[in-house]
């Protein structure tokens, strides 16, 4: 009887362990997440894949599949860290549901925190109905964003592709783009969203003929801008090569900033003398900079033997090396960056401008400076049109290679 009791107890214990294991593991595949904002629910999709004792999580925005840091289970919750952005998702696992929170560190080192829920097997964005629509969405719009107090405005170009009621696209601005947006046309309304670990973007507008009206743009959980758009196949932004420039009397830039080892690096160092140099004003916290780094890292690996160098000037949330360099290191490891990335200052644009006083200003992150073999600045490119912009990204790559080839041939 004792042996039988022991066997029965062991069987029940194994079943209990298996039940706990099943309960505590998220299902692999596509999920639909929602984070509530003051503008309504912000939906996005993600893919969970099992890798031995950990999980790989990919955020899905349009054509983008953005990998988060290695995810893991602690207690009864799935932890999805986004260390490069000082952000994470923590959610309790309940069969086909996840319930918890998303949080990220602000520039002032306080945390922004919002509720997070997700359902397994849901692949849609705003609506699961796949249907044709009577409302026509153009491919290109001239767009004006207004701050909530109406004091600041931003000229933009809206780029969209639609198939049935599904829409992908982005907005171009002088300081970069809004990366990959995904959404739907629902009756006469356009709805788009994006989550990339650090940014929460929710766009809404009504489609009225050639116009997009009554637009709202919610950033984070509560920040609001309004916007309007009008169809314009010729819509364009100011020339990105004219927005940041050298002040009168200057022909080059000069700096001396520390690298990871604490060594001060400048353009007069032997490594950069007599070479074409691409200086990247950036930050590890900046998704547009991340997109540019994703392009520059393999480009440099392929071209460095031609007599060209790339150098990153990182402007971080803090200039404390113990805070900033681990983030710079993670950025370098994530994208395989083999060029120097220096701690150059804080990510406040006015403060960043003081570190490079020969420039009229640092208008945006990233900003790319092209320097010839004689050390003279030949072009400054403000912002970055990432791969989510399609043709604009392709044009950037072509122009980039054409300019570097020209400078190398001189």
Residues 104 and 151 in one domain: no
Residues 6+ apart with CB under 8 A from 9: none
Question: Which of these three, 120, 150, 170, is where a domain ends?
Answer: 120
The answer to whether residue 152 is domain-embedded is yes
Residues 398 and 326 in one domain: yes
Bridge partners (DSSP) of residue 161 are 168
The answer to whether residue 354 is domain-embedded is yes
Distance between CA atoms of 115 and 82, rounded to whole angstroms?
17
Q: Comparing 13-22, 118-127, 277-286, 363-372, which segment has the lowest mean pLDDT?
A: 13-22
Bridge partners (DSSP) of residue 188 are none
Q: Which residue range(s) make up the domain with 44?
A: 21-120
H or E element that contains 55 = strand 54-61
Specify the CATH number for the domain of residue 386: 3.40.30.10
Q: What percentage of the chain reaches a pLDDT higher than 70?
A: 94
Residues 27 and 74 in one domain: yes
Distance between CA atoms of 92 and 88, rounded to whole angstroms?
13
Give the pLDDT score at 52: 80
Q: How many C-beta neighbours within 10 Å does residue 374 have?
A: 11
| DSSP code of residue 154 | E
Give the pLDDT score at 53: 78
Q: Which two tokens stand for residue 16?
A: 């209990």
pLDDT single digits (tens) 72-82: 999 899 999 99
The answer to whether residue 70 is domain-embedded is yes
Nearest Cα residue to 119 out of 242, 34, 224:
34
Tally the domains of the chain: 3
Residues 280 and 368 in one domain: yes
The answer to whether residue 316 is domain-embedded is yes
The answer to whether residue 12 is domain-embedded is no
Distance between CA atoms of 183 and 343, rounded to whole angstroms?
38
Q: What percentage of the chain reaches a pLDDT higher than 90?
A: 85
The answer to whether residue 162 is domain-embedded is yes
308: three-class secondary structure by DSSP:
strand
Give the pLDDT score at 3: 55
Specify the CATH number for the domain of residue 211: 2.40.128.120
Read out DSSP for 74-92? Answer: ETTEEEEEEGGGTEEEEEE
């Amino acid at each position: 009887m004792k042996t039988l009791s022991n066997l029965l107890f062991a069987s029940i214990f194994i079943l209990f362990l298996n039940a706990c294991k099943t309960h505590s593991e998220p299902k692999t595949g596509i999920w639909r997440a929602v984070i509530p904002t003051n503008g309504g629910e912000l939906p996005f999709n993600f893919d969970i894949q099992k890798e031995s004792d950990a999980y790989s999580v990919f955020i899905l925005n349009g054509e983008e599949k953005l990998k988060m840091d290695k995810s893991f289970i602690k207690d009864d919750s799935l932890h999805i860290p986004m260390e490069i952005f000082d952000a994470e998702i923590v959610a309790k696992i309940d069969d086909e549901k996840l319930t918890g929170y998303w949080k990220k560190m602000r520039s002032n080192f306080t945390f922004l925190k919002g509720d997070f829920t997700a359902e397994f097997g849901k692949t849609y964005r705003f609506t699961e109905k796949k249907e044709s629509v009577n409302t026509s969405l153009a491919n290109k719009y001239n767009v004006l964003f207004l701050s909530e107090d109406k004091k600041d405005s931003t000229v933009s170009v809206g780029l969209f592709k639609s198939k049935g009621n599904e829409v992908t696209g982005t907005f171009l601005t002088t300081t970069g783009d809004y990366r990959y947006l995904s959404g739907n046309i629902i009756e006469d309304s356009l709805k788009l969203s994006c989550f990339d670990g650090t940014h929460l973007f929710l766009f809404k507008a009504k489609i009225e003929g050639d116009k997009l009206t009554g637009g709202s743009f919610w950033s984070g959980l509560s920040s609001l801008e309004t916007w309007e758009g009008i169809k314009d196949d010729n819509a364009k932004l100011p020339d990105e090569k004219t927005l940041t420039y050298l002040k009168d009397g200057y022909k080059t830039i000069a700096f001396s900033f520390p690298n990871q080892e604490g060594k001060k690096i400048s353009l007069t160092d032997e490594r950069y003398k007599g070479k074409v140099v691409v200086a990247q004003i950036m930050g590890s916290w900046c998704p547009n900079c991340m997109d540019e780094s994703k392009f520059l890292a393999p480009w440099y690996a392929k071209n460095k033997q031609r007599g060209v160098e790339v150098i990153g000037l990182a402007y971080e949330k803090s200039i404390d090396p113990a805070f900033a360099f681990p983030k710079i290191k993670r950025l370098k490891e994530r994208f395989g960056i083999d060029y120097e990335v220096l701690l150059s200052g804080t990510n406040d644009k006015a403060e960043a401008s003081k570190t490079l006083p020969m420039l009229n200003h640092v208008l945006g992150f990233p900003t790319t400076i092209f320097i010839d073999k004689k050390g003279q600045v030949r072009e400054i490119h403000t912002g970055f049109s990432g791969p989510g912009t399609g043709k604009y990204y392709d044009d950037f790559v072509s122009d980039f290679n054409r300019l570097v080839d020209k400078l190398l041939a001189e």
